[in-house]
Amino acid sequence: MAEKAGSSPFVTSTATATAKNTSTTVKTYRVEAHSWSKPTLEVFDTATNTLVYTADSHTFRPHIVVQSPSQPGVTISEATFPSFSSRVEITYQGRTIVLEKTGFFRGRHAFTSISGEPLTWKGGVSSLVCLDQKEQKVASIQTDGWSGRTKSLDIVSDVGEEVLISALVMFLYERRKSRSRSGAAGAAGSAGAAAGGGAGGC
């Protein structure tokens, strides 16, 4: 995988946030999600409306590829979802960041940032929140608007770019799980209807 070169696109608008404490500064992004067209996600700086990241979802490995229009052809990060596992693996700047599921029903994925801080993502496809050891919010990605296509992504300014990337990866991971469950439920419903129809014809 090609490594990121030059300056980072991890520069966005700032605002006063309630995350961590009342004086913390956050970086705010608008994320547009696409179902069939590429890229799968487009991430915009809300201050300038500039496209700063794209994320493409793939059926085969790597399952997610993150790039920036400011560095055409350069992959910033990749992510894979190992088979028969609930873990998520992100490759970033030559390092592997592993997000491990914690708890059977709680739907949390814990990981360690490059700076060594333990963090945890929790929630689902409509609302994901990243918490530090004190259960204080350092990042979030939530549905913004009735269509569900647009997301609002907030990142506390003192965390690294890998946390933003983990937000995109976790959203796509949760969306994939949600669609898989919906597909399984639909298949089960169709099978039940077919069985009922067959029984009625006897």
* 15-38 pLDDT, tens digit each: 333 344 445 688 899 999 987 778
Matching residue, tokens 């060594």? 116
Q: Which among 149, 155, 110, 152 has a CA at the least distance from the CA of 137?
A: 155
Asked whether residue 193 is assigned to any structural domain, the reply reads no
* pLDDT, greater one: 166 or 83: 166
pLDDT-wise least confident of 44-48, 104-108, 119-123: 104-108
We report the CATH number of the domain holding residue 83 as 2.40.160.200
- pLDDT above 90 (res 84): no
pLDDT for position 201 = 52
Q: Which domain holds residue 127?
A: 13-179
Prediction pTM value: 0.79
Asked whether residue 202 is assigned to any structural domain, the reply reads no
Asked whether residue 29 is assigned to any structural domain, the reply reads yes
Q: What is the DSSP string of 3-40?
A: PP-SS-S---EEEE-SSSSTT-EEEEEEEEE-SSSSSS
| CA 155 – CA 8 distance, rounded (Å) | 15
Domains identified in the chain, total number: 1
192: Cβ–Cβ under 8 A, 6 or more apart, which residues?
none
pLDDT for position 142 = 94
Backbone angles phi and psi of 168, in degrees to 5:
-65, -45
